Every structure is written in structure tokens, then in C-alpha cells.
Amino acid sequence: MSISVRPDPDHPLGGYALLTVHGPVTPGPVMVGVTDLYEDRHLGPMGWQPAPVTMGPYAARDEEGALVVPVGPEIVDRIEAFAMLRLTVAGVSADLSWPDAVRTSPSRAGLGGLGVLSATDAAPASPPEASTPTAEPPPPPPPSPPPRSRSLLPVLLGLAALMVVVAGSAWWYLTQNGSERLEPTFPPTPVAVGCDAAGLSEARALPPAEGFARVKACAAEGDPELRFQVIEAAADGGLAEAIAMIGRWYDPSQAEAVGSGFTSRDPAQAARYYKEAALGGYAPASELLAAACAALDPTTDPTHEIAGDLYCN
């Protein structure tokens, strides 16, 4: 029997993969083991570690005689392309190179690269010379006696002075009242200090615990991807409260309050992180774990029964 890996078409943005075991394997919840053959390490819920460990349980299905196991960011986001691995799925082991077609989730891939300016954008075209029509001299006034032509000069000077006064009055009116009239039309959108893109980018540069404290204060405000990057960095550093926060992002009863960016929410996954946070010394995680365990429904999802045995008993 062999194992193959391909992107999950249900998640085109990345972060998910399908592990396929080709051979007669019984469908059902399975455990997945990932071993880095080059560095001799094993992938666990908190990342790579020296001791053997398995991930799961994962729901599996039968597709044309093969066992298909969907896995998410907890595995995909921690594996580099072309890494030499030993995968163990439902008791079947195989050595393979992780395909580069399986992309990490957007939160791990970053926010995009530098734009490339086109030739037309690279340097603004020099403004074309204004095709101002050559001023033609005004037609000569009809012949008039010299005294009459001289009498027009005071009138023209008076009109010019009047135009200056009108223009000055209009300028004063606009500078005094224009901003007062226009400002209420487009009121600025209030943004919490430190929770905008600039503030969250600063939080990513802080030590993990300090960055997490800033993101926690933002609650559900700010870009979800930027917030999760800070939370994940703190969790990777062993901060138990950050581990519990990842559980809240998975927890259907907590996701809205913390502004979760996850589309798939599952109390079984939440219970896994709550259990780790409680073992890490974060006291409130015990109450969150109890609520997540109460939300498990083994009658509709077999993985809930396994999660209950692993994390709730």
C-alpha cells in the first residue's frame, strides 16, 4: 500500500491537504503521524518535537477503494515543500517528498509580494505641452475719436478691481466655511489604536508575549490574518493563554467574540487546544474545555467521541 498527498479542492486558498492511502483500509477516524526524515523529528500539536507523536483524530472517507483523510493547517502549515517525510496514516507508513502543489494557508504565506510597475507606471509621462491656442490679439476697436478711447481705461480698471474683490471674498468664504460644510459628509472610520494594519504589523515585531497582549486587547478588531500570525507565534513560544486563544478561534461558541477568521469551527479541535492550555497552566482553559466537551456530539461526528476520550476524560 502507498500514500499520496494532494491539495484539498474544498480549500483553494491553501492550508489543507488530502492524504490518500491506496489499499484496503477501513474508513473511520484515524491518527496521522508525520516524521521529518532529514532532521529526525516528529510533528505534534505544538509543532516539531524529538519524541514520536501522532495528530488527530481525523475523519476519513472511502473514495473508490482508497482511504482519504483531510488534514488542515496544523499539519500543512508546518511542512516545507519537498521535505522528505514518513507519513503514517491508519497504521500504513510510506516515505515521500511533500509536494509543492500543497500550499500553506494565507496566514502563513504572508500578505503578498511587491507589485511590479508596468513601463507606463514606472515613470509618469511628461505632461504634454499644453496646446494652448495662441492668444490672438483682440480685434481693434472701431475707430473712435481719441478722447473716447482714453475714457475706457478707468472703466476697465474698475472692472478689474471689482473682480479682485469678488475673488477674495469667495476665497475667504471657502476657507472659513468650506471645511465645516464638507467634513461631516465623509466622517473618518474610527479605528482602535494599535488594531489597524500598522499596529498589528508592529505587534508581529514585538516579543511573542507582548505582541499577543496587544492582539488580545484588540478582541475582534483588526485583520484576522495579522492577528492570527501574532497569536500563533505566541502559542509556538509556549504561551498557554495564546494556545487557549487558538482554541477559541475553533470554538463555535467563542469564535465571534474573538473575531475568528476560521471558516471551519469544531468543538473537538477547540477541546484539543483548551486541554493543552490547561496543562500549560492557564486556569481559565479548564472552564472553556468543559464547555467545549459539553458541545461534542458523537452521534453526528465520530471524531467527537474520540476527542471526548482524549481531552475530556
What is the full per-residue pLDDT of the chain (313 aa) written as tens digits? Answer: 799 999 998 888 788 999 999 987 777 788 999 999 988 899 998 889 999 999 888 988 888 889 999 998 899 999 988 888 999 998 899 999 999 899 887 655 433 333 333 333 434 444 444 444 445 555 555 555 555 445 566 666 667 777 766 676 766 666 665 444 444 444 444 545 579 999 999 998 999 999 999 999 998 999 999 999 999 999 999 999 999 999 999 999 999 999 988 888 899 889 989 999 999 999 999 999 999 999 999 888 878 888 888 899 8
Phi, psi (rounded to 5 degrees) for 301 = -140, 115
C-alpha cell at 216: 488580545
The predicted pLDDT at position 128 comes to 44
* SS3 state of residue 173: helix
- The distance of Cα 282 from the centroid of its chain, to the nearest Å, equals 26
pLDDT digits (tens, 9 = 90+) for 55-99: 888 988 888 889 999 998 899 999 988 888 999 998 899 999 999
- CA dist 165 and 161 (Å) reads 6
- The distance of Cα 246 from the centroid of its chain, to the nearest Å, equals 14
The predicted pLDDT at position 56 comes to 86
The predicted pLDDT at position 313 comes to 82
Q: What angle do CA 172, 176, 181 make, to 5 degrees?
A: 125
- CA dist 175 and 182 (Å) reads 11
- CA dist 244 and 208 (Å) reads 15
* SS3 state of residue 55: strand
The pTM of this model reads 0.47
The predicted pLDDT at position 227 comes to 92
* Structural contact between residues 37 and 27, judged by C-beta atoms closer than 8 angstroms: no
- CA dist 212 and 191 (Å) reads 19
pLDDT digits (tens, 9 = 90+) for 259-304: 988 888 899 889 989 999 999 999 999 999 999 999 999 888 878 8
